[in-house]
Amino acid sequence: MATEATILIVEDDASLRRSLEMTLKAAGYVVVGVGTLAEARRMRAHYKPRAILLDLGLPDGDGLEFISAVRAGDLTPIVVLTARDAEALKVRALDAGADDYVTKPFGLEELLARLRAALRHAVQAAGSAPVVRTGPLAIDLAARVVRREGREIELSPKEFEILAVLAAQLGKVVRHQDLLKAVWGSERADIQYLRVYIGQLRAKLEAHPSRPALLVSDPGVGYRLMADTEWSGGVSRLGRPS
Ligand code: CA
């Protein structure tokens, strides 16, 4: 059924919107592209999209309002298209209920990976997979065992907890304060703790700990455990930093 796979793109930059439409269509999605909030509301009501790609700066209003309006009704995955150096805005978008964001200019493979992650989480909802796999890692959340290329890796309890929180949100950014709250019970815990433990995890899990490919930092926002590592060398970029 067509409406089940429909992705709503809300972006007022017409050339970027067209590129996104072509990319998503080529990837097998049904796409509806609009350039204003008013159209976005209408098309959302009409098509009930499976996911929404949303630019925040729109001619007739603020995309953050749209996020809140969507979240008041349902859990449709929302991936925000945002400018570089807009950390505060990214955090506000996540606070409002966005699932993730990509930073302009972004690679097409990166965007598709984020979209797949957002859709996957919408499907999983309850009961997450007992074993999460990405790259060389297999993380058994129930047995609390982590393997890298089949070899068991010794992690401290805190290291495991951090990795488990990231694995449960595979491919998505987890905000610093959410990690602190999940692992230390308070979002006011020192963010420096996190940096130390992430450093230890990278030393144990990454092929090149100084150039992490699995445990990636989103500066000013949080960390993510990469679901698709193949795009990191991606070439084509879409959208200008604005
Ligand atoms: Ca815009």
Give tens-digit pLDDT for 101-118: 999 999 988 899 899 888
Residue where a domain stops, chosen among 106, 128, 150: 128
Q: Distance from the CA of 62 to the center of ligand 1, in angstroms?
A: 10
* pLDDT band, residue 240 (cuts 50/70/90): very low
Is the distance from CB of 198 to CB of 162 less than 8 angstroms? yes
Q: How far is the CA of 87 from the centre of ligand 1 (A)?
A: 16
Asked whether residue 214 is assigned to any structural domain, the reply reads: yes
What was the pLDDT predicted at 231?
A: 42
Report the separation in Å between the CA atom of 16 and the middle of ligand 1, taken as the mean of its atom positions.
10
- Both 185 and 115 in one domain: the answer is no
Distance (Å) from CA 118 to ligand 1 centroid: 22
Report the C-alpha gap between 98 and 77 in whole angstroms.
Answer: 7
Distance 59 CA to ligand 1 centre (A): 7
Residues around the ion ligand 1 (C-beta < 5 A): 12, 55, 57
The whole-number average pLDDT for the span 194-220 is 94
In a domain, 69, yes or no: yes
How far is ligand 1, taken at its centre, from the CA of residue 239, in Å? 10
45 located within any domain: yes
Q: How far is the CA of 240 from the centre of ligand 1 (A)?
A: 10
> Distance from the CA of 105 to the center of ligand 1, in angstroms?
13
Centre of ligand 1 from the C-alpha of residue 38, in Å: 14
Angle at 240 between CA 116 and CA 113, to 5 degrees: 10
Q: Which domain holds residue 108?
A: 6-128
Q: Show which of 128, 161, 190 is a domain's final residue.
A: 128
Q: Is the pLDDT of residue 1 over 70?
A: no
**pTM of whole model > 0.85?**
no
What's the whole-number average pLDDT of the chain? 86
Ligand 1: distance of its center to the CA of 11 in Å? 6
- Cα–Cα distance, 68 to 83 (Å, whole number): 20
Q: Does 128 have pLDDT greater than 90?
A: no
Task: Specify the higher pLDDT residue, 51 or 157.
Answer: 51
Mean pLDDT of 33-49: 94
Please report whether residue 241 resides in a domain: no
**What's residue 95's pLDDT?**
87
Give residue 233's pLDDT band: very low, low, confident or very high (50, 70, 90).
very low
| Mean pLDDT value of segment 74-94 | 88
117 plus 201 within the same structural domain: no
195 alpha carbon to ligand 1 midpoint, in Å?
33
Judgement on whether residues 124 and 150 belong to the same structural domain of the protein: no
Question: Distance from the CA of 117 to the center of ligand 1, in angstroms?
Answer: 24
User: Both 94 and 190 in a single domain?
Assistant: no
Q: Quick one: 79 and 95 in the same domain?
A: yes
- Check: CB of residue 39 under 8 Å from CB of residue 49: no
Q: What is the CATH number of the domain that holds 166?
A: 1.10.10.10
Q: What pLDDT was estimated at residue 124?
A: 59
pLDDT per residue as tens digits for the range 152-187: 999 998 899 999 999 988 888 999 999 998 888 887
Predicted confidence at residue 10, as pLDDT, reads: 98
Are 86 and 181 members of one domain? no
Cα–Cα distance for residue pair 215/206, rounded to 1 Å: 8
Whether 242 maps to a domain, the answer reads no
Give, to the nearest 10 degrees, the angle between helix 157-168 and helix 176-184. 130
pLDDT in the model for residue 228: 64
pLDDT for residue 242 is more than 60: no
Total domains, the chain: 2
pLDDT digits (tens, 9 = 90+) for 61-78: 999 999 999 988 888 899
Does residue 148 sit in the same domain as residue 231?
yes
Q: How far is the CA of 58 from the centre of ligand 1 (A)?
A: 5
Mean pLDDT of 95-104: 90
| Residues 53 and 114 occupy one common structural domain | yes
